[in-house]
Amino acid sequence: MEDGMRLWANPSSPHAEGRKAKAALEDARERVKRALAWEGEVIFTSGASEALAIALGRAKAERRAVSAAEHDAVFRAAPDAAVLPMHEGAVETAALDTVLAGEGRSLVAIQHLNPETGTIVLQQAAAGERVRSAGGLLLADCAQSAGKIALPDCDMAVVSAHKLGGPVGIGALLVRDFALLEPVGGHERGYRPGTENLPAIMGFAAALDFAGDWRTDAAERDAFAAELAGVRVAPGGEQAAHILALAHPSMSAQALLIRLDAMGFAVSAGSACSSGTLKKSRVLDAFAVADDVAARTIRVSLGWSTTQDELERFAAAWTSLCR
């Protein structure tokens, strides 16, 4: 990011300083593609929410459908989309087939990894093959999984830098082919207005350069998840090791947040974007988690900087709270 701050020129400017900034921008773009094993195009955005808005607002498709467990940003970007119910941690196939059988092309948004439960909602093949065979487009919200789990087979994917150790306020929309989107003019090949945030983009690429190390060093995370498996809220499907929904036997989620915060642990009830409300999590409701369990459930997430000592201290703190 410091290197990017020294490149003061607009990457679209034709002069020497602009060309230097442009070269750094394109180098970062290629590094992001390489780190994520993405063979399509990359549009840098201000974060995952903007990437979702571009995909859902400008995809060349007549209809939109989204899973019931999607992030709030998906529902804000496509308020009229058909909502696909969940069953045992995945989208109901009958509902998906009904949407795909409709007239015209469908854009279907299914998150890769749920941010509140750690459930891998979009399995590598099944949903993608179903959507593709029906002529639809698959959009995967990979904000929680990119750099940690291999991207799913999809037409568009959404990535957020700060979820993998990069700066806040930068993300990307990965798109298989620019022809899938309506351009609006401006920067990023005409698919996003506004000058690129070069320092943040370079920080994004740098974070991804190190993401592979975090992904392969998973033994402690797996052991931590296994130790807490008895209290983990797992609504079906495969579970990732770096996001856990934990249900206390009796204490409310809000009380748990206060107690754990005092013990030095930053956890949440639901996703960070909606945790300020005392209502039952819409996501846990979509996963058919019982009301009394949802009221006692917190979200624990592990990041690139989480240490084994922190994992052990949290496990001990949780045990003490459950006595």
Q: Judge whether 146 and 36 are in contact, CB under 8 Å.
A: yes
Q: Which H or E run includes 299?
A: strand 297-301
Confirm whether 273 is a catalytic residue: yes
Set 142, 154, 273, 322: catalytic member: 273
Q: Judge whether 114 and 106 are in contact, CB under 8 Å.
A: no
The tokens describing 230, both together, are: 């008895």
Bridge partners for 82 per DSSP: 65
Q: Which of 68, 28, 11 is nearest to 285 (CA)?
A: 68
Residues 6+ apart with CB under 8 A from 230: none
- Measured CA to CA, the distance from residue 299 to residue 231 in angstroms comes to 12
Residue labelled with tokens 């087979």: 153
> Could you count the other beta carbons within 10 Å of the beta carbon of residue 85?
14
Q: Judge whether 56 and 74 are in contact, CB under 8 Å.
A: yes
What value does the CA radius of gyration of the chain take, rounded to a whole number of Å?
20
Residue 115 φ/ψ, nearest 5 degrees: -75, -10
DSSP three-state, residue 101: coil
DSSP code per residue over 62-87: SEEEEETT--HHHHHH-TTSEEEPEE
- Could you list the active site residues? 273
